[in-house]
Chains A and B, each alone.
Chain A
Amino acid sequence: MTITNEPSAEIAVPTELVTVIIDGVAIGVPKGTLVIRAAEMLGIEIPRFCDHPLLEPVAACRACLIEIDGVPKPQPACAQVVSDGMQVHTQYSSDVARLAQEGVMEFLLLNHPLDCPVCDKGGECPLQNQAMSIGRPESRFTEEKRTFDKPINVSAQILLDRERCVSCARCTRFADQIAGDPMLELLERGAQQQVGTADDEPFDSYFSGNTIQICPVGALTSATYRFRARPFDLVSVPTSCEHCASGCALRTDYRRSTVTRRLGWDDPQVNEEWNCDKGRFAFAYQQQGRIDWPLVRENGELRTASWPEALAVAARGLQTAGTDTAVLVGGRSTMEDAYAYARFARIALGTDNIDFRARANSEEEREFLAAHVAGTPIKVEYADLEKAPIVLLVAFEPEDESPIVFLRLRKAASNKVSIASVAAGASRGLAKMNGTLVPAKPGEEAAALANLPQDIQQALSQPGAVIMVGERAASAPGALSAAAQLSQQTGAALAWVPRRAGERGALDAGALAGLLPGGRPISDPAARSEVARIWGIQESALPQQGLSGIALHDAVDSGRIRGVVVGGVELCDYPHDAAEALGKVDFIVSLENHHSAVTAMADVVLPVGVVTEKSGTFLDWEGRPRPFGQVFRDAMMNSDAAVLAMLADSMGHSLPGGVNELRAQMGLLGPWTGARATMNPTSASANTDGERLETWRLLLDLGVMQEGDPHLAATARPTVARMSARTAQSHGIGDTATIHGPAGSVTAPVEIDDSMLDSVVWLPMNSEGSRVYRDLGAGHGDVVRLDAGTHAGGLS
């Protein structure tokens, strides 16, 4: 039941074509095409360094000079727009062009160190390649090269070798035009020109790694990959990113069973060519601290066990628990694995107690997902964001929670798409999208949606408008109901953008109580029989509607649930004390690749593979399948689905767990076409008393999948407590503030932000010094108490 409904192919708009003749070959290209692109269409490759199809032309490197009939001087193909009848001569048919290109290539190599044998880029270097094709075999330059100290850090992760730089300005233009973080600039002049940053102001960007990838020489390198490998020793595999729901296409490069680096790969529909630094650098977790063998608890201690023993123990324990069981699926599961959990719960355990939402959630959210999201085809896609009259963000911080959505929204904003955000303050990301703030106290987003400014309301009624809701909407009572209602009223398309890569797939695979695969309501007889038929069981064998969210937590906490299967869940991601609740469960089976709070209390731990060791699919926020293949074909690790198949087998059920079988079964099921579950609108809570906490997870934080790369961690944004000057003043707060919650307090440096509503304080949810669930016992929208902390009060 993978969603295959492709968005209806757009009717081709007739474009005005102009004919350009390049090296004697005529080609019709759309008006406005650059000569270099027209030449590419003919397979004529013109050298280039500064040119990049996704960046504005700059015509600085002059490597692409070509001759145009009637134009006295050679022109840069990267900035020259074609005109009808234009006669272009490239290096293949013009000595002027060839000599101009050779001249530029010779110049570029003057001050370049020619240290290819020790350079990371050697072997995949545009300068090296083009020097071979258009350069002189011997240098005429015998003077001294200019030198620089090297490398220098432009950020903790990105290192700059200024000697190798050819001043193409790709990195600086990327930082400015694409990422909106213009901290990289060209400094000085002449041959001393160099890329650099202001003193004490590093290249602070979530997208910094892209500059390495688009650097046409080895000037920019990452601390993570520098000197680790040569490109020609690497095996490259196309993959999809497991970190968030943006759905980036990646290329994973490995050598000797070790991933050496990951690159953003080209998918014009999704990530164009970009990715974020988390997707690029956070992969050390895949290899460090892995659980290799099954573990069984004996006399209170986990000990290594054989697979047959561990499976037998697990099966016996779960069978003892009967149907008083539950399944918790982590948000990073592939769709196939989530489907296997969903099926395992309903067949092997006979329960519908299942939830993939290892985070703050609500019954309202479950109903919202069942009514509007689960099993639906692509309603909004990336390209739609660029054409929308307005995109309204509700409890969603794209730069942190879905960075590629952020990049696309930035691009959209430069195309005059207006962006508005319902939040307590205008974030740095919102400023970069040139967006407007619709102020809403945390937890009271619903009220803001009900009283939107007139112009936003009107814009939402125009065709193509989009509403995007994020995961913290689940923490704001009534917000999802209000968003759904707003969408219905205005006709604006509604997109739910989860933060984790696996959530949308898990939802569609049926890993949520009340929802069978494809968005089928478990209460619907037709839906039940469709699923039962494909699963080869009696309809009556399917369980009735089970528990999820808080209700499930309460059931666990009260001891009513006796057996739990947990797949890749960090207990600290729940707002409530999940560890205490799970402690009351008789029998816990944990499917994990790293030790965690769950394995610490599990009775059986079954090791499973990470993304490089299996194939699978993520559904991105659009609902677009992002399939990926196995990187390490000889990996010894099983997928979650394969382990569940073995476990089911031990329990007397045949539930094949091969990825192809699972995909085939999901395909047979397809999406639900019957009546969808409806949503009981939840009313907004209006409680304006006290200081409220606004919080979300920063892109780079203490997430376990970011462990193992200290350079990446060093680029994380520092923990601050953000509040308005008035809020700070009214609490006598100076440089630092202490925020108190039921469980404790967080003390953090204060950042004054006057876009913030008064009586609101923002803290990162899971960053160094600010793990709000654990430290405060409070989450988004909760009431907290503020004071100046221990420093300001003195000894009195």
Chain B
Amino acid sequence: MSTPLTPVITEFWDRQDLYTLDGYRAVGGYTALDKALKTDPDSIIGQVKDSGLRGRGGAGFPTGMKWSFVPQGDGKPHYLVVNADESEPGACKDIPIMMANPHALVEGVIIASYAIRANHAFIYIRGEVPNAIRKVAFAVRQAKDAGLIGKNILGSGFDLDVVVHSGAGAYICGEETALLDSLEGYRGQPRLKPPFPAVAGLYASPTVINNVETIANIPYIVDRGVDWFRQFGTEKSPGFKVFAVSGHVKSPGIYEAPLGITMRELLDYAGGMRDGSEVKFWIPGGSSVPMLTPEHLDLPLTYEAMAEAGTMLGTGTPMVFDQTTSVVKAVTRWLEFYKHESCGKCTPCREGTYWITGVLEKFEHGHGTEGEMETLVNLCGQIAGRSFCALGDAAATPYPAALKYFRDEFEAATHTSADEQFDPVASYVFAAAGAR
């Protein structure tokens, strides 16, 4: 009855040599590239459009549509940029993909570049994960040596150069225009839009920016077809997703399943909650999306169902927390993250995260006031929709949802510290006795 897992990108992760060209080829790698290079680029864009693939970086924008925005025949160089700056608290899917199956990414990069007529692609990887950077750089080098990247790839006449670029430790550089600034050598801060990157992106030229997982999907869609892809998932959220489950579960990890699987099912795959514990709250995809409660465990994990529940699928990397967790403390940690990572460009995000964090820290220590509970809602409202980019919106997300579901905890935090309410040791995943 339960939804089966559908390992595609993750299918052969038990192969020790999958990260090598030979290993990848042994499981059918680079056959999609062969097919793609014999196809008209526009029909690849059409295929991706028809597949309904939506961006896996969090926003869920239709990938094929993004590609079709690139003006063709404009005489300018085009660029493909892969956003591999995975830094969202709770998100851990792109880095495993890059470590275990980097050639799927590389193959996707070549096909996508071919489709949008880019002769230059960049993979911008979070600087704190040198092992992932090494794996991808190695895969790119192997692909180059095998003639899969370079001049006249496989006799198609298509030229491509791929650059693996390391970020320098700023969450904001996961925002696509800040990433472009950073890639160009400037301080990473989001750019004013319009112009949009599809028209004037990297070096003021048409640029497509896609998430790692999105691009890693491409070879499989091209190889196996649109109908195959659409048999998974729902009408509006077709395909499968690399879900990375973390938190107080027995077997945290990567579970690739069709979109539309429920959190309860994913929890089962993850071995259920640790002994003696139950779900208190969970977030579907990174700290930037509002939290949900056990009553939402049976909702399908799709873009549309999550939106209906007042949250977002986000990166599709659920974090599950049990009853040992202080909501006040969790929200405070997240806000401290946003305060630290706010780029400073716009006032609401820069000052708002500073202020909210200060107030939340008072709650954490049991010094909040009733009035401040409302002030915080108000402050989040002064950020959401008013900031320059989505970082501010994200920062305004955790608190209102937390207050909605766990008001009593904030009320208690007006007199009792979070550590007195919840033994911090009990919430550690390695806590000896498990949950209290």
Contacts and interface: CB of A to CB of B under 8 A. Distances in A.
Interface of A: 57-63, 65, 72-74, 79, 99-100, 103-104, 106-108, 110-111, 140-141, 143-144, 146, 166-167, 185-186, 188-193
B192 A140 contact: no
B354 A59 contact: no
A62 B344 contact: no
Contact of A62 (B170, B348, B359, B362): B348
B346 A61 contact: yes
A58 B379 CA distance: 23
A189 B340 CA distance: 8
Interface string B381-398: 111011110000000000
B349 to A, nearest CB: 8
A104 B355 CA distance: 13
Among A62, A99, A143, A144, which residue has the most Cβ atoms of chain B within 10 A?
A62
Nearest to B349: A190
A104 B387 CA distance: 10
B187 A103 contact: no
A73 B344 CA distance: 20
Given A62-B388, A140-B375, A191-B339, A110 B351 contact: yes
B172 A189 contact: yes
A520 B339 CA distance: 72
A260 B342 CA distance: 40
B382 A100 contact: yes
Nearest to B194: A81
B192 A58 contact: yes
B358 interface: yes
A137 to B, nearest CB: 16
B354 A146 contact: yes
Given A190-B343, A193-B344, 11 more contacts: A61-B347, A103-B386, A107-B348, A107-B352, A107-B355, A141-B355, A143-B355, A166-B347, A167-B345, A188-B344, A191-B354
Contact of A186 (B187, B341, B353, B358): B187
Nearest to A192: B344
Report whether over half of chain B's contact residues are helix, strand or loop; otherwise say mixed.
helix
Contacts of B359: 143
Interface string B157-183: 000000000000010100000000000
B350 interface: yes
Contact of B347 (A60, A99, A188): A60
B351 A73 contact: no
Report whether over half of chain A's contact residues are helix, strand or loop; otherwise say mixed.
loop
A62 B187 contact: no
Nearest to A167: B344
Contacts of A185: 187
Among B355, B359, B385, which residue has the most Cβ atoms of chain A within 10 A?
B355
Contacts of B354: 110-111, 146, 190-191
A193 B339 CA distance: 12
A62 B339 contact: no
A-B interface, 6 closest residue pairs, ranked by CB to CB distance from nearest: A193-B344, A103-B382, A143-B358, A107-B351, A190-B342, A73-B385
A143 B352 CA distance: 12
Interface string B364-383: 00000000000100010111
Nearest to A107: B351
A98 to B, nearest CB: 12
A250 B384 CA distance: 43
A105 to B, nearest CB: 9
Nearest to A103: B382
Contacts of A143: 355, 358-359, 362
A74 B339 contact: no
B73 to A, nearest CB: 24
21 contacts: A58-B192, A59-B388, A60-B347, A61-B346, A73-B385, A74-B386, A103-B348, A107-B347, A107-B348, A107-B350, A107-B355, A110-B354, A141-B355, A143-B362, A167-B344, A167-B350, A189-B170, A189-B343, A190-B354, A193-B343, A193-B350
Contacts of A193: 343-345, 350
Contacts of A63: 347
B168 to A, nearest CB: 12
Nearest to A58: B192
Interface in B263-307: none
Contacts of B358: 143-144
A62 B345 CA distance: 10
